[in-house]
């Protein structure tokens, strides 16, 4: 109860920080020539065993949600033949997304689309080069920011978490807000769908779901302020019964200690984002 109370206070602070944000009027745009995926390892389609096997074989990462999503879009009439522009960078935080470079690529590993500098700048460059042809934009950011809590509070001591979590959430709100505002300016008519995160660590750290709930509140508020939609993975991963069996099936944490989604989990995320984008209306 003490843990829940202190983390709930951090969640409240995040809500106060973002309380002034207001969303623009809702709009809708059909898919176009390109889907763009931005963000971290989930956007990339990362799984640790595949990286250990051969990080240079990019084809093995095509089970990621961005690829599954784009293949589904390509089967619709307005999105027929759509291609994926995937800039996802494993390890990316909301801060490194803006400032760059992608540390994973700087270490010598390939990305689906290689670029120098920041992912934000690369995204804007592609949007300029393909003006009006990129829709939707899928974004997964924030998980690595909050995972930083474990560097300061390895046992998730409530006093430690309560001291640093509000600052982390405030930084996520500022950075993600800045990123989404720039994307909205560069692609005013595009659907932007932001992923709200699951928590793979609950079996090992009971009560840590509050971290995901806190982060997801920030993501939801910032997304609404920038006319972006959200796809919330938390209910499907962490609340759908039976637990923890469902979470263990949709992530690789229980079997391999890998926090990333399994192929089945990536398919679930793709479905959630497809529905959030409103694209089921194009399927028959």
Q: Residue 27's pLDDT is what?
A: 78
Percent of the chain with pLDDT over 70: 91
Structure tokens at 224: 């609404």
| Strand duo 83-86 + 192-196: pairing | unpaired
Q: Residue 166's pLDDT is what?
A: 96
Mean pLDDT of 63-68: 98
**Could you tell me the pLDDT band of residue 19, with boundaries at 50, 70 and 90?**
very low
Query: Average pLDDT of the chain?
Result: 91
**pLDDT tens digits for range 106-159:** 999 999 999 999 999 999 999 999 999 999 999 999 999 999 998 899 888 889
Mean pLDDT of 273-279: 97
| CB-count exposure of residue 97 (10 Å: 0-12, 13-18, 19+) | buried
Q: Could you give the residue ranges of the DSSP H alpha helices within the chain?
A: 2-17, 41-44, 48-53, 65-73, 94-99, 103-106, 119-129, 143-147, 149-152, 158-186, 209-225, 234, 245-250, 253-256, 263-277
Of 14 and 243, more confident: 243
pLDDT above 60 (res 283):
yes
Q: Residue 246's pLDDT is what?
A: 98
Q: Residue 17's pLDDT is what?
A: 41
Can you name the residues that pair with 38 across neighbouring β-strands?
139
Q: Residue 155's pLDDT is what?
A: 86
Q: Residue 284's pLDDT is what?
A: 72
Are 142 and 215 contacting, i.e. CB atoms less than 8 angstroms apart? Answer: yes
pLDDT above 80 (res 47):
yes
Reported pTM: 0.91
Query: CA 130, 131, 136: angle at the middle one, nearest 5?
Result: 85
Q: Residue 88's pLDDT is what?
A: 98
Q: Residue 13's pLDDT is what?
A: 43
Q: Residue 18's pLDDT is what?
A: 42
Q: Residue 26's pLDDT is what?
A: 59
Mean pLDDT of 25-29: 73
Q: Residue 8's pLDDT is what?
A: 46
Mean pLDDT of 44-51: 98
Q: Domains plus CATH for the chain?
A: 2-9+26-277 (3.40.50.1110)
Of 72 and 15, more confident: 72
**Could you tell me the pLDDT band of residue 1, with boundaries at 50, 70 and 90?**
very low
Mean pLDDT of 224-248: 97
């Amino acid at each position: 109860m003490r843990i829940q109370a202190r983390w709930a206070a951090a969640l409240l602070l995040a809500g106060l920080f973002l309380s002034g944000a207001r969303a623009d009027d809702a709009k809708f745009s059909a898919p176009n020539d390109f889907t763009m995926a931005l963000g971290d390892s989930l956007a990339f389609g990362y799984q640790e065993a595949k990286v250990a096997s051969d990080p240079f074989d990019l084809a093995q990462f095509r089970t990621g949600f961005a690829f599954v999503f784009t293949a589904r879009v390509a089967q619709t009439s307005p999105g027929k033949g759509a291609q994926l522009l995937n800039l996802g960078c494993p390890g990316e935080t909301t801060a490194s997304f803006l400032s760059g470079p992608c540390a994973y690529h700087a270490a010598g590993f390939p990305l689906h689309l290689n670029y120098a500098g920041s992912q934000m700048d690369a995204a804007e460059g592609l949007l300029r080069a393909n003006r009006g042809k990129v829709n939707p934009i899928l974004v997964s950011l924030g998980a690595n920011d909050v995972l930083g809590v474990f560097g300061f509070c390895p046992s998730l001591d409530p006093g430690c978490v309560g001291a640093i979590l509000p600052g982390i959430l405030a930084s996520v709100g500022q950075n993600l807000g800045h990123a989404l505002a720039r994307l909205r300016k560069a692609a005013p008519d595009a659907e932007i769908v932001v992923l709200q995160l699951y928590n793979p660590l609950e079996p090992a750290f009971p009560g840590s779901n509050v971290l995901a709930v806190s982060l997801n509140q920030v993501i939801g508020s910032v997304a609404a302020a920038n006319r972006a939609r959200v796809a919330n993975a938390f209910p499907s991963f962490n609340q759908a019964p039976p637990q923890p069996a469902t979470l263990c099936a949709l992530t690789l944490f229980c079997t391999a200690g890998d926090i990333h989604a399994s192929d089945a989990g990536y398919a679930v995320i793709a479905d959630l984002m497809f529905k959030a984008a409103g694209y089921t209306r194009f399927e028959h």
